[in-house]
Amino acid sequence: MEEKFRPVSYSVTRVSELMIPAYANFGGKIHGGMLLSLMDKVAYACASKHAGHYCVTVSVDHVDFLEPVNVGEMVSMYASVNYVGKSSLIVGIRVEAENFRGGTMKHTNTSFFTMVAKDDDGKPTIVPGLILETKEDLKRFLEAMKRKELKAHYREELRKARLSIMQEDIDTLLKNERCKVTMI
């Protein structure tokens, strides 16, 4: 059977939502979890449209909230498929918040959601390949490849560190840390 491909533009997804007081924390700023939930929905819509299947969230990278979001601001999320593997897709999401009174727009974060397409039996299923139509599409695809490679390397280093950490000189390791070891 001939392999199926879809362009990035086919599944580009944009969602905007007004930030209401019910979304705020005790400091009057919008809960990070509220933004994450919205991002997860946008990632789902974008990935499922490309895949033509139901998708699940497997991993989320780079959730650094660079700017607080305030009540009354309009949050917009722009999502596109940056990369596809066999059953996995990486969706990049740019989040911006617009303040109507000040007429300002701020970039709050860009995050990457790894989603996996599932078939009717709940098993990972192959997704269409990606047609890279613009220089930006190509750049995002190459960057996603690099992030995947670095993530695999980081995981391996972390695994090794976990195995050896308790064998190291604890006093030296904790010399500049703000903790007290009270166990015997």
Name which position in 11, 82, 108, 114 contacts ligand COA (CB under 6 A).
114
For position 87 contacting ligand COA by CB under 6 A, the verdict is: yes
Q: Return the amino acid letter for 30.
A: I
Q: Which is nearer to ligand COA, 87 or 97 (CB)?
A: 87
Q: What's the rounded Cα separation, in Å, for the pair 169 and 123?
A: 45
Q: Taking contact as CB under 6 A, which single stretch among the options 15-23, 51-59, 65-73, 137-145 is the one that binds ligand COA?
A: 51-59
CB of 164 to ligand COA, least distance (A): 23
**Of the candidates 127, 160, 130, 125, which has an alpha carbon nearest to the alpha carbon of residue 145?**
130
**CB nearer ligand COA, residue 77 or residue 115:** 115
Query: Which residues are CB-contacts of 129 (< 8 A; sequence separation ≥ 6)?
Result: 3, 4, 5, 6, 84
Q: Is 104 in the site for ligand COA (CB under 6 A)?
A: no
**Contact predicate 81/13, CB 8 Å:** no
Sheet holding 104-118, edge to edge: 13-18, 74-84, 88-99, 104-118, 54-61
Of 70, 65, 59, which is closest to residue 24 (Cα–Cα)?
Answer: 70
- Residue 76 in contact with ligand COA, rule: CB under 6 A: no
**Least separation in angstroms between CB 96 and ligand COA:** 25
* Contact flag: residue 32 with ligand COA (CB under 6 A): no
Residue 63 as a binder of ligand COA (CB under 6 A): the answer is no
Does residue 59 belong to the site contacting ligand COA (CB under 6 A)? Answer: yes
Label the pairing between strands 13-18 and 88-99: unpaired
Our finding on whether 56 is near ligand COA (CB under 6 A) is yes
91 binds ligand COA (CB under 6 A): no
Closest CB 85 distance from ligand COA, rounded Å:
2
User: CA–CA separation, 118 vs 115, rounded Å?
Assistant: 10
For binding to ligand COA (CB under 6 A), which residues are involved?
Answer: 56-59, 85-88, 114, 116, 124
